[in-house]
Amino acid sequence: MKDPACDLCIAERITTWHHEDEHCFVADCEVCGVPMVVWRSHGSAPPEDDVSHMIAVLQAVGERVLGESFRIDPVMRQIPDHFHAHARPSGWWFKRFTHHAVPGAGGASPG
């Protein structure tokens, strides 16, 4: 079952897609830019066999895209009613808050 109002059900191809099958797809998360597995059905509690399959697929994509230094994050922060999980590189939380000055974007100039 799909929810026509759910962004994960709509599944627009606006980022890189790494995998898709009848159970799930893996695409880069629009918000955080890391690989994210999404269940093809709308809901937060897929059958355990589907969860195992999705995590295995995300693990393989994570290894290919991120290398060895990542972890699976199953916390559904922004869309809690549709199962998805992220492959997070080491230190991802702190990297979110790292800001780099961009020349010409205002603020203090370097040097």
The rounded distance, in Å, linking the Cα atoms of 88 and 35 is 8
The residue type of 81 is D
Give the pLDDT confidence of 4-62 residue by residue, as tens digits: 999 999 999 999 999 999 999 999 999 889 999 999 999 999 999 999 999 999 999 99
pTM score: 0.81
The rounded distance, in Å, linking the Cα atoms of 36 and 110 is 36
Give the pLDDT confidence of 92-111 residue by residue, as tens digits: 655 555 544 444 444 443 33
What domains does the chain contain, in order, with CATH numbers?
Answer: 7-95 (3.30.428.10)
